[in-house]
Amino acid sequence: MGGSDALVAAARAVRERAAADYSGFKVGAALETADGAIITGCNVENATYGLTVCAERVAVFKAISEGHRRFTRIAVVADTDAPTPPCGACRQILWEFGGDLEVILASLTEIKATLRMKDLLPLPFDRRLLK
């Protein structure tokens, strides 16, 4: 678990910064780059809900804005008993920018599941279809 510990710990820590005033559902994500850097993101809500951005997308967009283009894993943390997987929009973004990433789903105290993006999004829409 070694490397997973640091990634999950980063996701747990950033979860505390979530702006979840409406739902109260705080989520943290930590994205590992190919060179081992960890880029974090938390969910940011607003009154319209439709403009809310999930933790996973914040982490990806932040990583891209900082010049990272290759990723290996992402940890997603929520205060739930069951694993909390990325939503559909996040799955699309994670696939498009990260491919078949390892996805670690954790609670505040333990890792609940480890999956691959190909299992979460088995028939992705991506650049291969834009011919």
pLDDT given for residue 3 in this prediction: 67
CATH of the domain at 101: 3.40.140.10
86, pLDDT greater than 80? yes
The tally of domains found in the chain comes to: 1
pTM for this prediction: 0.94
> What is the average pLDDT score of the chain?
95
Which tens digits make up the pLDDT trace of 14-65? 999 999 999 999 999 999 999 999 999 999 999 998 999 999 999 999 999 9
Which residue range(s) make up the domain with 44?
2-124
Q: Is 82 exposed, middle or buried (0-12, 13-18, 19+ CB in 10 A)?
A: exposed
Half-sphere exposure of residue 123: CA atoms within 13 angstroms, side-chain side: 0
Q: Is residue 129 included in any domain, yes or no?
A: no
Q: What are phi and psi of 103, to 5 degrees?
A: -120, 115
Structure tokens at 30: 């930590």
> For this structure, is 56 an active site residue?
yes
Q: Where are the alpha helices (DSSP H) in 1-131?
A: 2-15, 55-65, 88-98, 117-120
20, part of any domain: yes
From 16, 45, 56, 102, active-site residue: 56
2 pLDDT higher than 70 = no
Confidence of residue 1 (pLDDT cuts 50, 70, 90): very low
